[in-house]
Amino acid sequence: MPDKQATNGTRYHIDGKVFTWTTDDGDTVTIPLRLKLKALRGLSKKEMNVDTMFEMFEAIAPSQGEVAEEMDVNDFQAMFVAWQEEYTKLSGATLGE
């Protein structure tokens, strides 16, 4: 599948059930689009903000935290929004539904 473009202009790629984002620094973040329910327990009732996004990110892609911590907060948010849109397309529901 060809690369897609997020609202901030960053390109990302969907390969099967994996979302791959390449940062401006050339680092790659890989996030699954199929999630285990245990990763989301307790997060669905929280207010969506940067802390909650990072907590959710660590729950679903724990090995990717170091790359994410080095990202600009606006880039992280753009990545999270693009991932969430792709997740919704695949699952037919928004995260937490």
| Sign of the four-CA dihedral 80, 81, 85, 86 | negative
DSSP H/E element including 85: helix 73-91
Is the pLDDT at 24 greater than 60, yes or no? yes
Q: For the chain, which residues make up each domain, given as ranges?
A: 4-91
- The letter for the amino acid at 74 is N
CB 33 within 8 A of CB 17: yes
pTM of the model as a whole: 0.76
Tokens of 49: 């903000």
Cα(51)–Cα(19) distance, integer angstroms? 21
Q: What is the pLDDT of residues 27-86, one digit of tens each?
A: 899 999 888 777 777 777 778 787 887 787 788 888 888 888 888 888 888 888 898 899
pLDDT in tens, 4-20: 888 888 888 998 889 99
